[in-house]
Amino acid sequence: MSLQSVPATPNNFAVWFNYAMGTSPALRKTIDILIGNKRKFDSAINHELYVTYVNPQSNAGTAAGDFPEQLQGVISTARQFLAAAISDNRTQIEALGEVSSQVETTSDPRSIIEKLVTELSKATTRASALEANFAETSHELDKIRDSLKLAEQRSNTDALTGLANRRSLDEFFRSALIAAMETGEPLSTLMIDIDHFKKFNDSFGHQVGDQVLRLVAKVMLDSVRDVDHAARYGGEELIAVLPGSDLAACAAVAERIRRRISEARLTRRATGEEISSVTVSVGVAQFRMAESAEALIERCDRALYQAKQSGRNRTVTETDIDGDVAAA
């Protein structure tokens, strides 16, 4: 911590203690990569390391707050079933022991056979009841599992557009940047801003504004790959992270999205009235080794700003900005 100039706070100490002990291979790998790339351990990185690898609960929501009680109920029921099964098993063993004793003292096998049949019938009935109870418990666990999956999905999804939200974007960025540093593969981002978005809200109402957002989000989602991550960044700004794509490939995707949106026709649902065409401005940037997600997004945002300043409805890459700076 001293060598990396990390402040000796309790949270930071917990991170580096786990690093030194090797309790989290993922934490060790992440810190080794950061050190290897001479990254500064600032407050943002220290916080992310803590909430990601040491205490994820400190950054978790309460979407699944009721599930522990449900699980406790299922576990309690299962324990009762097991206790009943153990008790029945003991009773059956004792009954079979009595039958075994009678074998040695009687010459008539009919009574022994009748008792064996009776005990086996009881055992079959108990086993059937136990199986039904466990099947019901298994069904309850399946419902809890599905509910947890749905809650997780909702906590990572923007309700209006169906895209990933900022929380999901931050998590994806963390893993994507580490993977890019490890493999040396390119990683690029594109940021979209809807041109004159306020005009749609002012002229047609917020419902039409929401409809415009959903249209742009759908085109964006349909235009990227399954391995990419499309998210709502905030307001009318959308962003996509493209692992394995260099600047040129990402710019091609951005231009395809821009063109498809400009060609789409939007009608007002209530009246069928055709709304003026929707256009977007797009900025594109590529990850540079060891930089933060914030730095990458900042360059992407600068390119987006240049696209809007240049007349909107266009795609601008970070090299276009660098070229402008060099020419000046």
Q: Is 303 exposed, middle or buried (0-12, 13-18, 19+ CB in 10 A)?
A: buried
Q: Which tokens belong to 93?
A: 């063993």
CB atoms within 10 A of CB 316: 25
Q: Which tokens belong to 68?
A: 């522990």
Given a contact cutoff of 8 angstroms between Cβ atoms, the answer to whether 258 and 282 are in contact is yes
d(CA 67, CA 152): 12
Given a contact cutoff of 8 angstroms between Cβ atoms, the answer to whether 240 and 224 are in contact is yes
Q: Where are the alpha helices (DSSP H) in 264-317?
A: 293-309
Three-state secondary-structure class, residue 281: strand
d(CA 120, CA 113): 10
Nearest to 59 by CA among 173, 180, 155, 202: 155
In angstroms, how far is CA 309 from the centroid of its own chain? 35
What contacts 48, CB < 8 A, 6 or more positions away?
174
Q: Does 236 qualify as catalytic in the annotation?
A: yes
Q: Which tokens belong to 298?
A: 């900042």
Strand partners, 282: 192, 315
Q: Which tokens belong to 167?
A: 């929380």
What values do phi and psi take at 249, rounded to 5?
A: -65, -40
* Cα distances (angstroms) measured from residue 80 to each of 55, 75, 131, 134, 327: 34, 9, 13, 11, 78
- Given the residues 236, 263, 298, 318, select the one marked as catalytic: 236
Q: Which tokens belong to 87?
A: 């008790």
Which residues are the active-site residues?
A: 236
